[in-house]
Amino acid sequence: MNIKKRIEQLIEKINEHNHQYYVLNNPIISDGEFDRLFKELEILENKYPEHKYSFSPTQRVGSKPITDFGTIEHQTPMLSLSNAMNKDELSAFHSQIKKRLQIDSVNYIAEPKLDGLGVELVYSDGLLLHGSTRGDGFVGEDITHNLRTIQSIPLKLRNIEKTPPLLIEIRGEVFIEKNDFIKLNKYQIKQGKQTFANPRNAAAGSLRQLDPTITASRPLSIFCYEIGIVKGYVFKNHLSLLKTLKLWGLPVNPLIQPVTEDLGIIEYQKKLEKIRNHLPYEIDGTVFKINNYSQRKLLGTRSRSPRWAIAGKFKAQQATTIVQTIKIQVGRTGALTPVAHLKPVTVSGVTVRKATLHNQDEIERKDIRIGDTVLIERAGDVIPKVQKVITEKRPKNSIRFTFPEQCPVCNQDTYKATNEAIWRCGNIKCPKQLKRRIQHFTSKLALNVEGLGEKIIDLLVDKGYLKSITDIFLLNKNKLAALEGLGSKSAENLIQAIEQSKTTTFSKFIYGLGIRNVGEYIAKLYAKHFSGNVDKFLNTSLTELESINGVGPIVAKETMYFLSNKSTKQLIKNCIDKHLLLKTNNKPKEEFLSNKIFVFTGSLNTLKRNQSKEIINDLGGKTSNTISKKTDYLVAGPGAGSKLKKAQELKVTILNEKDFLKIIKK
């Protein structure tokens, strides 16, 4: 048989067996036979690289880790769902639909709401072109290299010979099964690595890897449930879409079923609530979607969620346990939070050891005492809460908790602002506050110093190496290497991470300062308003802050309070003058490359990839890691790979380094 034919035949066979194994859970050949086919394909492909197809099962894991995540725009926004918290709200949804559509009966498709990570897979002519996270709903991160490693995702759609869709955005949820999650955490412990708090975090962490070999080693699964744009194919309704996705080889949840009216909805809700703990994966509710597409169209969408669907939330999971003690936790803003330390108890597969008691009023209102048996609740990812005390079980020797008048860490007197329920430690130098402030300043959404975890920060503050957030820039390798449990290699990596963190944006820096009520969103508004000018920000006024659209009076007041402290102001100035290099993250004034999409392949001599990407972003352009019809330019350097070939096929403009530099210099 001719080589090309044999390779194609092997690909088809292996893909078929993968589908049987990973999607249908029904392997029809032994592992040994499968390995033999795979080996034969590998050998042939290595010998005849001209017949190496992107959809070959040998090509799931790319050869090199990527250096940075590109972005991918969703052609149809990835919306979220509005919630119904109980039966009444589900019935109200159904009544609204009937009223809006002026009909008496509605057919829905009922689905489990999977507790994973929403992703998008784009197939062009049946081939997986790229995949991304949901991101902000409009633009997601390009995680093609990682999604390709999920064996149940077909690299080439099945059964599309007669009617291949030209282009289709398929949406689904990536998750890790409960059993696989336990195994993964055990493995992490064995490897001395950090464990994951829950299956969702494990799935998210696995998809956000630069190195696809790590993702490939994680037991990720997917169920597909919606589509965005589709070209060259028409679906009759949602049920027929799901059937077609299944036919094309994509995993579709077997618990999906049609239901009618609110009775059908509520029955399904009850059924899933009953079986949720017995399912192999976590679900946090149900989703009800109108089956009929023209009805969906008539109803339309709100800004963030469609009117034709609703998520039915489950009641929070509960358990009873004993309050062994109550301790005060000091946060970065000095807030003293009482935390109940509980006898460990499992709630929906997660061991709960602590529950927040919020504040003194809450303890008094619920009359929670040490020794009490309490009912605790865990809703999704939220920190567990003590719902109520089972007073019948109160032991005679239960102890009332007395809120401390001094901070348990630094002994400074505590204070409570009028209209606030929270007691605070007012000592800005309180070591615990400092530790948490540094942790916040270096966290992912702020300066993102990789490898600087809670333990190391605590040690560094305790040793007196860190007395303010900016002291992290004064650390050196020797100081770090001397810390318990930190070898010289890790110390070196950490110094490098600190060095890299110095190039940041105004908004990340402001967010990292930890001003009360100033989250990521407000920090971005400030960045935009002050055009990245720190001096202007330091000298702002209450009136100016309140004039910013989206900034309310409380936020403005907190910001002014923060800035009224002279030493804080000095600290910010020092940080900017001596350590940081702030890039602008405003909408570029220069729209020279407005929305032009660049892809890179091969190496560049003058600029690093990251630098080139930043320049393109600053000029209003975008970058991606994959070539598609939407790509405007491919910048190809020596060692250019398959992207060059694909760009030629798709007639994308190809630039060498010189041309590229000319464009950006212009």
Pick one of 17, 41, 111, 241: the residue that binds ligand IVH (CB under 6 A).
111
| Closest distance of CB 220 from ligand IVH, Å | 15
Task: For residues 336 and 330, give the distance between their C-alpha atoms in angstroms, rounded to a whole number.
Answer: 5
Pick one of 309, 466, 555, 661: the residue that binds ligand IVH (CB under 6 A).
309
312 belongs to the binding site for ligand IVH (CB under 6 A): no
Pick one of 176, 287, 430, 449: the residue that binds ligand IVH (CB under 6 A).
287
**Whether 113 is catalytic:** yes
| Closest distance of CB 309 from ligand IVH, Å | 5
Which lies closer to ligand IVH via its Cβ, residue 111 or residue 180? Answer: 111
Token reading at 95: 């009544």
- Mask 125-164, x = binds ligand IVH (CB under 6 A)? ---------x------------------------------
Pick one of 44, 66, 97, 114: the residue that binds ligand IVH (CB under 6 A).
114
46-68 in b/e form (b: 16+ CB < 10 A) is eeeeebeeebbbbbbbbeeebee
| Closest distance of CB 457 from ligand IVH, Å | 33
Residue nearest to ligand IVH (CB): 118
Task: Residue 253: name the closest of 291, 279, 231 by CA.
Answer: 279
| Closest distance of CB 80 from ligand IVH, Å | 4
Q: Could you give the C-alpha distances from 355 to 277, 317, 460, 503, in angstroms and in order?
A: 22, 14, 28, 38
Q: Which stretch binds ligand IVH (CB under 6 A): 108-116, 402-410, 514-522, 623-631?
A: 108-116
| Closest distance of CB 175 from ligand IVH, Å | 9
Helices marked H in 532-608: 534-538, 542-547, 553-563, 566-574
Residues 399-418 that bind ligand IVH (CB under 6 A): none
| Closest distance of CB 171 from ligand IVH, Å | 6
Give the interface size with ligand IVH as a residue count (CB under 6 A).
15
Q: Which stretch binds ligand IVH (CB under 6 A): 120-128, 152-160, 228-236, 306-314?
A: 306-314
Task: For residues 477 and 490, give the distance between their C-alpha atoms in angstroms, rounded to a whole number.
Answer: 9
| Closest distance of CB 134 from ligand IVH, Å | 5
Which lies closer to ligand IVH via its Cβ, residue 170 or residue 522? Answer: 170
Helices marked H in 475-600: 477-481, 488-501, 506-512, 520-529, 534-538, 542-547, 553-563, 566-574
Which lies closer to ligand IVH via its Cβ, residue 307 or residue 416? Answer: 307
Partners of 329 in the beta sheet?
Answer: 337
Residues 216-245 that bind ligand IVH (CB under 6 A): 225-226
Q: Given the residues 113, 432, 643, 646, select the one marked as catalytic.
A: 113
Task: For residues 399 and 369, give the distance between their C-alpha atoms in angstroms, rounded to a whole number.
Answer: 5
Q: Which residue has the tokens 């390798």?
A: 477
| Closest distance of CB 295 from ligand IVH, Å | 15
- Residue 629's CB: how many other CB atoms inside 10 A? 11
487-524 in b/e form (b: 16+ CB < 10 A) is eeeebebbbebbeebeebbbbbbbbbbbbeebeeebbb
Pick one of 45, 142, 169, 173: the residue that binds ligand IVH (CB under 6 A).
173
Give the single-character DSSP code of 587.
P
Rg (CA), the chain: 28
| Closest distance of CB 347 from ligand IVH, Å | 21
Please check whether residue 601 is in contact with residue 572, taking contact to mean a CB–CB distance below 8 angstroms. no
Which lies closer to ligand IVH via its Cβ, residue 175 or residue 633? Answer: 175
Pick one of 118, 140, 212, 621: the residue that binds ligand IVH (CB under 6 A).
118
288 belongs to the binding site for ligand IVH (CB under 6 A): no
Residues 26-85 that bind ligand IVH (CB under 6 A): 79-81
113 belongs to the binding site for ligand IVH (CB under 6 A): yes
Which lies closer to ligand IVH via its Cβ, residue 311 or residue 640? Answer: 311
Task: Residue 354: name the closest of 381, 380, 326, 335 by CA.
Answer: 326
Q: Which stretch binds ligand IVH (CB under 6 A): 54-62, 106-114, 154-162, 472-480?
A: 106-114
Task: For residues 71 and 73, give the distance between their C-alpha atoms in angstroms, rounded to a whole number.
Answer: 7
Element (H, E) at 343: strand 336-347
List of long-range contacts for 179-182, beta carbons under 8 Å, 24+ apart: 179/280, 180/219, 180/221
Which lies closer to ligand IVH via its Cβ, residue 288 or residue 660? Answer: 288
Token reading at 91: 């019935």
Which lies closer to ligand IVH via its Cβ, residue 120 or residue 657? Answer: 120
Which sign, positive or negative, has the C-alpha torsion 262, 268, 272, 274?
A: positive
Which lies closer to ligand IVH via its Cβ, residue 241 or residue 518? Answer: 241
By annotation, the residues acting in catalysis are 113
**Interacting residues with ligand IVH (CB under 6 A):** 79-81, 111, 113-114, 118, 134, 173, 225-226, 287, 306, 309, 311
